[in-house]
Structure 1
Amino acid sequence: MPQFLKTFLRRPAGAVGLTLLALVTAMAIFAPLIYPASPWEMSGIPFSQPGENGMLMGADTLGRDIAAGVVHGARISIVIGIASTLTALLIGVTLGCVAGYAGGALDSAIVRFTEIFQTIPNFVLAILLVAILTPSIATIILAIGLVSWPPLARLTRAQVRSVSTREFVQAARCQGQSTLSVVVRHVLPNAISPIIVLGAMTVAAAILIEAALSFMGLGDPNYMSWGYMIGAGRTVIRQAWWMSVFPGLAILTTVIAINLVGEALNDALNPRISRA
């Protein structure tokens, strides 16, 4: 682990990304302390510019504090990003392991099933699922998870197929270990590195999908989110640019931070590839 951390932090991208991500996470965790009042509360004069009337990032058309919305919106974006990625990992890694290790007809069936999902654009399918299930945090997490698992399944399948042919896996089979034991104890630990990297990238993609859904009015109406704020401010962007710019910068910063961390993870977990 110390060597892993040294390799990770040696990359400027890793240090910068981790710092930015830590700041966003801290903002999400301590949002009730930073802005105790509800972000929906009308606490100022409508259209107040940044810095006016004690509002750091200005106010929206109803007098709601933009800074409070950005801080509280961080929690929603991070929770949905992580939870939907875990859902995608659960589905994708499970199907990928089964397909890669079993092979044969079962492998072909899972591959064809995965290809069906990949023929439909992710965002279109997410819109359809959320619209059918009615917008809420749970349905958004489920929808994003259901559209994000195919790349994880394909990567897991390829990794498992590669690792399954190695000598130590064959030795474990000869010792009489069960299939589940071989996969969990020997195959997955040696195939997990690229899956972790892709999982980190999936969090960033999930945050973008959630923001797009909220922008279109398909977010949870009970929670403030960055996408909702951008959507609410788009009609007055010429008169009040700050309503859309600040939440947009929050999304941009978070996604860049996650991608930088993902690149550094790739270098740390695959040192030979990064040196090449």
Structure 2
Amino acid sequence: MSEFWTRFARNRGAVVGLAILLLVIVLAAAAPFLFPRSPWTMVQRPFLPPFANDAFPLGTDTMGRDVASAVAHGAHVSLLVGLVSTIASLLIGIPIGAVAGYYGGRVEDALMRFTEFFQSIPSFAFAVVLVAIFRPSLVSIVIAIALVSWPPVARLLRAEVMALRSREFVEAAILSGQRSPTVIWRQILPNTLSPIIVLATMMVAAAILIESALSFLGLGDPNIMSWGYVIGAGRTVIRQAWWVSFFPGFAILLTVLALNLIGEGLNDALNPRLARRTR
């Protein structure tokens, strides 16, 4: 573990990304205490500029709602959607990729054609259609993001499992009488964790962007404050009140950048030989 953190710390960008992500997590966790009132509550006159009132440092929006409160409470929603949808994507993609890579033949062909079908559909357009069908809600958004995000996981797992299934420890497990599901679960999948973890960080960032885009288009949960909703609410008055869209947009930028930097750091730490070759 100490070697892992040493390699991770060598990537300064990854350390900065981790610090930013921790700040966002702290902000999301502390939002109910820092801003106990609902972010939907009108607290001041509309279009109060940022830093004009100490009680509302980021100003107010078109309805007189606190932008700082909206950003803080929106952090919880964005991180939750990103994490849960990524976990759901992994639960779909990992079994499909593992089975396809291990058994090969017709099983692999069928599963990969199924995966390619989902990849042939534009992911964001597919997510829009799914949310519109299920009606906008936090659950439908998570389901939609999961359904459009799992194909890369399946393809990655297929390649990793194909590379591992002919290794000596896998053949030894088969000769010892272990059944195929046991071999996949106990012998192969633990050796694929490194690329999965790296990919998962990228997927969380992509999920946050998709959720923000859906909310921006008015397809977010109407009862939950999110960064995309705040940006969408301020787009019609961006010349008059630039701060309404700027601060949640900047929060999205920082969070996605932090996750991508962390992903690069994890790749260096978990795959040091590969990182050296690519430099």
* TM band (smaller chain): over 0.9
Q: Which runs of 5+ in 2 are unaligned?
A: none
1:14 Cα deviation (Å)? Answer: 1.5
Identity among equivalent pairs (%): 58
Report the Cα distance in structure 1 between the residues aligned to 2:9 and 2:240, rounded to whole angstroms: 43
Supply the AA of the counterpart residue of 2:2: P
Deviation, 1:184, is 1.3
- The alpha carbon displacement at 1:10 in A equals 1.9
Q: What is the CA distance between 1:2 and its match in structure 2?
A: 1.4
Compute the RMSD of aligned alpha carbons: 0.7
Aligned equivalent of 1:152: 153
The equivalent residue for 1:104 is 105
Find the counterpart in structure 2 of residue 173 from structure 1. Answer: 174
Match for residue 210 of structure 2?
209
**Counterpart residue type for residue 38 of structure 1:** S
Q: TM-score, normalised by structure 2?
A: 0.98
Aligned position for 2:25: 25
Amino acid paired to 1:132: I
- Written as runs of structure 1 = structure 2, the 5 A alignment for 1:62-101 is 62-101=63-102
Q: Distance in 1 between matches of 2:14 and 2:63?
A: 40
2:239 corresponding residue in structure 1: 238
1:185-212 CA distances to partner (integer Å, 9 max, x unpaired)? 1111112211111111000000000000
- Rounded to whole Å, the distance in 1 between the matches of 2:13 and 2:173 is 39
Between stretches 189-198 and 214-223, larger displacement belongs to 189-198
1:116 is matched with which residue?
117
Q: CA–CA distance in 2 between the matches of 1:180 and 1:29?
A: 39
In the aligned structure 1, how far is the partner of 2:105 from the partner of 2:29?
A: 47
Query: What does the per-residue CA deviation read over 1:213-256, in whole Å, with 9 as the maximum and x for residues that have no partner?
Result: 00000000111000000000000000110000000000000000
**Could you tell me which amino acid in structure 2 is paired with residue 51 of structure 1?**
F
- Cα distance in structure 2, aligned partners of 1:158 and 1:130: 31
Which letter does structure 2 place at the counterpart of 1:41? T
> Which residue does the alignment assign to 1:42?
42
Please tell me the residue identity of whatever aligns with 1:195.
I
Matched, 1:270 2:274: no
Determine the structure 2 residue equivalent to 1:192.
193
Deviations 1:61-86 (A, max 9, x none): 11000000000000000000000000
C-alpha separation in 1, matches of 2:113 and 2:190: 26
Show CA shifts across 1:17-51 (max 9, x none): 11000000111111101111100000011000001
The one-letter code matched in structure 2 to 1:109 is: A
Q: How many residues align?
A: 276
* Length-normalised TM-score, structure 1: 0.99
Distance 1:49 1:105 in 2: 63
Other structure's SS at 2:41 match: coil
Report the Cα distance in structure 2 between the residues aligned to 1:222 and 1:106, rounded to whole angstroms. Answer: 43
CA distance in 2, matches of 1:94, 1:199: 15
Structure 1, unmatched stretches of 5+, are none
User: 2:231 & 2:73 partners in 1: Cα distance?
Assistant: 14
Letter in 2 for 1:230: I
Aligned equivalents of 2:52 and 2:63: distance in 1? 15
1-side partners of 2:205 and 2:60: how far apart? 28
Paired with 1:152 and 1:63, the residues of 2 have a C-alpha distance of: 43
Aligned to 1:259: 260
C-alpha separation in 1, matches of 2:196 and 2:268: 13
SS at match of 1:207: helix
CA distance in 1 between partners of 2:50 and 2:111 (Å): 53
Q: Distance in 2 between matches of 1:241 and 1:205?
A: 25
Is the partner of 1:161 in helix, strand or coil?
Answer: helix
Correspondence 1:7 to 2:3: no
- Structure-2 residue corresponding to 1:221: 222
1:169-192 deviations in Å (ceiling 9; x for gaps)? 001100101212211111111122
